Amino acid sequence: MLKRFYPARMAESPYVIDYDGLYNEGYRGIIFDIDNTLVEHGADASERAIKLISMLRDKGFEICLISNNSKERVERFNKDINVDFIYNANKPSSKSLIKAAGLMGTDIKNTVFIGDQIFTDVYGANRVGMLSCLVKPIGHDYQIQILIKRALEKIVLWHYGRYLKRTKKGTAKG
């Protein structure tokens, strides 16, 4: 049951992912969550985020931002990046992820979703068969619903770690 929440990949941050490797594997679209993935919650696009998106576009990736936040929030973040975006996405709804791939001209199989939350980002990507990549959150969470989710995520990640150990030993069933 918990496997639906397990990320396909994990990274310390979106800024250290091997994007050349993803491109060589055939991925052409990247969907990013914004808050606590690219910047701290509520922050405008940082110079680091702007450079990352620019570098990815230069490599040939299509980019889409997806957020459960408001249009104003996502537009403010996107003003210096200027990529496609979806706001009020209702993640983990599969509808928004499919729409994001469509906006980029990619499909589910050659698109990766990078985000910081298991129950919205990872689960949403996994539900549609998209590659999920979980990154550690940037900054601190202050909203009670996020703090509760983070506590539950620790339980999932503990089980995920055990699953990986068993799988490497060949004792776990796929």
Check residue 40 and give its pLDDT: 92
Query: Is residue 36 domain-resident?
Result: yes
Find, among 168, 165, 95, 79, the residue nearest to 130 by Cα. Answer: 95
Check residue 140 and give its pLDDT: 66
Domain count, the chain: 1
Residue 172 pLDDT grade (very low, low, confident, very high; cuts 50, 70, 90): very low
Find, among 36, 87, 49, the residue nearest to 66 by Cα. Answer: 87
* Identity of the amino acid at 9: R
Assess whether pLDDT exceeds 70 at residue 72.
yes
Residue 17 pLDDT grade (very low, low, confident, very high; cuts 50, 70, 90): very high
Query: Is residue 54 domain-resident?
Result: yes
Query: Is residue 173 domain-resident?
Result: no
Pair of tokens at residue 114? 């990078």
pTM of the model: 0.86
CA 146 to mean position of chain CA atoms = 16
Query: Is residue 75 domain-resident?
Result: yes
Query: Is residue 145 domain-resident?
Result: no
What CATH number has the domain bearing residue 115?
3.40.50.1000
Least confident of 120-129, 140-149, 156-165: 140-149
Check residue 5 and give its pLDDT: 92
Check residue 167 and give its pLDDT: 78
Range(s) of the domain holding residue 110: 7-139
Query: Is residue 58 domain-resident?
Result: yes
Check residue 160 and give its pLDDT: 81
Check residue 169 and give its pLDDT: 47
